[in-house]
Structure 1
Amino acid sequence: MNRLTLCAAALAATALGAPALARAEDGRWQIKLLGSGVLPDGRIDGVKTDLIGLPAGSRTRADDNVVPTMAIEFYATPNLSIETICCLTQHKVDGAGALAGARIVDHVLILPATLTLKYHVDAGPIRPYVGLGPSLFVIMGEKPGATAKALGASRVTMSNELGLVLQGGVDIPVGDGGLGINFDAKKYFVDTIARFTTTAGVKALETRHKLDPWVISGGVYFSF
């Protein structure tokens, strides 16, 4: 199953509940196809278990990624809407500071299932908006990096977590046919716990990480 298939499946599952919040005849639908830059933090926010002896000044960071994104939005009123947005993004986690050059996690997939309530400002044809809502980060496919393996880690898991997202952007219509351009920025606030275990099943390291990504998107929409 490829990334777009996973995105579409998760998006459809989240969107099924949206019409219950308002009658379809009271609003309209909008579908967006976007390109999104995912810019996570990934720094260590706390150490719960440390059997390997992390050096003082140990830090980590996650790399950035650019992914296709799809969103479905339902307008409950001309000014209030509900939007679900989804993508599947892949990252790795490297060491920084005292851990510079270390390969911590070589592969991790994140599915940020997100639902926001948005308020649209009346500013002529251009429609700026703000929004907020919950986001569940579903994390899968984790693989320990070369440095983690060299220290005896055979497996790494990262916890699924519920967080908050703040959103701002603008819709710019192009003509009168329902087409338009969208620019959007989201700031997520969510952590995860990484657990590294040995082949014997011993938990050698457990750390909490700030993911807290910015997601910057741009693309086209169609309203109907």
Structure 2
Amino acid sequence: MRKMTMFVALAAATALSTPAMAGSPDGKFQVKVLGTAVLPNGEIDKIKYLDAGLGDTLADMGVSDVDAKANDNVVPTLAVEYFFNQNFSLETICCFTQHHVNGAADLSGTELVDHVLILPATVTLKAHLPTGTPFKPYIGAGPSVFFVFDEKPGATAQALGVDRVKMSNSFGVALQGGVDIALGDSGFGVSLDAKKYFMKPTAKFYVEDTKVLETKHNLDPWVLSAGVTYRF
């Protein structure tokens, strides 16, 4: 997290301090430095595979309704945007977000997956509404790939013998809406942004390289951001 914060701060400082980048509310490029709340779902959409032995263990524990929930997180985000004209632009974001997945329903209170690090590679095509004022609302949509790193079995999964867990990378789409607000003619401004992702990764749990459980999840996070912008 500290490295990511330093990267965002350095990128913003570089963009805002370069003399050749004269600020303008009508410039071709825009850089955003944002604080972002990542609010995933994480519920189990389908149990694709359940080892008979693990199934018997869960039954002995009185577990019949199996579900999960991923925790929320707040992270720094860097967005870079190119304007084709005043009405259309292309935007990409850079951030890492870390989560864990806990049990829900009959599994409430259990720890299933720890330290899931996600890179949400996203590109959106945005349409901006010309209002003739500093307030410029927009909508957008585009593809996204969630790259998953460094996931580990949680304490409850380990107690059941799980020694490795693998969550899949996931391809999906993002819908976007927000508003940019120019602060005068200097190129500086503020931005409010909301994205809804539709992602369905799978999680595979292993005991000594033998798969004992595979689940498909509705990750589907809301990603809410606010911060400062510079257009040039």
TM-score by length of 2: 0.85
Q: Distance in 1 between matches of 2:153 and 2:5?
A: 26
- Percent sequence identity is 54
Q: Shift of the alpha carbon at 1:5? A: 8.1
Of structures 1 and 2, the larger Rg is shown by 2
Choose which of 164, 170, 174 in structure 1 pairs with 2:183: 174
Q: Distance in 2 between matches of 1:174 and 1:5?
A: 25
The structure-2 alpha-carbon separation of the partners of 1:3 and 1:203, relative to structure 1 and needing over 3 Å to count, comes to farther
Q: Does 1:106 align with 2:114?
A: yes
Choose which of 79, 83, 97 in structure 2 pairs with 1:71: 79
Q: Distance in 1 between matches of 2:103 and 2:5?
A: 32
The structure-2 alpha-carbon separation of the partners of 1:134 and 1:170, relative to structure 1 and needing over 3 Å to count, comes to same
Q: Which runs of 5+ in 2 are unaligned?
A: 12-25
- Superposed CA offset, 1:98-131 (max 9, x none): 0011100121000000000000001122100000
Q: Distance in 1 between matches of 2:7 and 2:107?
A: 34
Could you tell me which residue of structure 1 aligns to residue 88 of structure 2? 80
Q: Distance in 2 between matches of 1:130 and 1:45?
A: 29
- Superposed CA offset, 1:66-86 (max 9, x none): 000000000001100000012
Q: Distance in 2 between matches of 1:99 and 1:159?
A: 22
Q: Distance in 1 between matches of 2:214 and 2:220?
A: 19
Letter of the 2:155 partner, please give it: A
Q: Does 1:209 align with 2:217?
A: yes
Could you tell me which residue of structure 2 aligns to residue 144 of structure 1? 153
Q: Distance in 2 between matches of 1:42 and 1:119?
A: 30
8 Å Cα contact 1:7-1:86 kept in structure 2 = no
Q: Distance in 2 between matches of 1:50 and 1:7?
A: 42
Q: Distance in 1 between matches of 2:176 and 2:3?
A: 24
RMSD after superposition: 1.9
Q: Distance in 2 between matches of 1:128 and 1:41?
A: 27
Q: Shift of the alpha carbon at 1:57? A: 1.2
Q: Distance in 2 between matches of 1:3 and 1:80?
A: 33
Letter of the 1:161 partner, please give it: S
8 Å Cα contact 2:27-2:231 kept in structure 1 = no
The structure-2 alpha-carbon separation of the partners of 1:59 and 1:6, relative to structure 1 and needing over 3 Å to count, comes to farther
8 Å Cα contact 1:29-1:73 kept in structure 2 = yes
- Give the secondary structure class of the aligned counterpart of 1:85: strand
